[in-house]
Amino acid sequence: MAVIYYGEGTHDAGFVGFRVARTVGVADDYRQEYFSLREYSYATAHRLAYSLDRKWEAEAEEVKRQNKTCKRRRNSGPNIIAEGLRAYISIENRSRMGVKRTYFAPFFLVTKPGYGNGDIAFRISTHGYAEAYEKAVEKYCEIHDLTDEQYVELLDRMPSTEVFTGYLLNALLMRGHRATKAEILSKLGAEKNEEDIANGKGKSGQNRVRCPEYRWAQ
Q: Give the model confidence (pLDDT) of 115-158 as tens digits.
A: 667 889 999 999 999 999 999 999 999 998 888 888 998 999 99
What is the chain's mean pLDDT, rounded?
82
Domain boundaries, the chain: 3-70, 80-198
Rounded percentage of the chain residues whose pLDDT exceeds 90: 49
Which pLDDT value is given to residue 73?
65
CA distance 43 to 32: 19
CA distance 43 to 46: 5
SS3 4: strand
Which pLDDT value is given to residue 201?
43
Which pLDDT value is given to residue 126?
92
Query: What does residue 176 show for φ and ψ, rounded to 5 degrees?
Result: 90, 10
Q: Which residues contact residue 81 at a Cβ distance below 8 angstroms, ignoring those fewer than 6 apart?
A: 72, 87, 108, 154, 157, 159
pLDDT above 80 for 3: yes
- Region 192-208: what's the mean pLDDT? 44
pLDDT above 80 for 76: no
More confident site: 3 or 207: 3
Neighbours of 92 (CB within 10 A): 9
Neighbours of 131 (CB within 10 A): 19
Question: Which DSSP letter does residue 99 get?
Answer: E
- Region 32-60: what's the mean pLDDT? 94
Which pLDDT value is given to residue 105?
93
Rounded percentage of the chain residues whose pLDDT exceeds 70: 78
| Lowest mean pLDDT, pick from 51-55, 100-104, 154-158 | 100-104
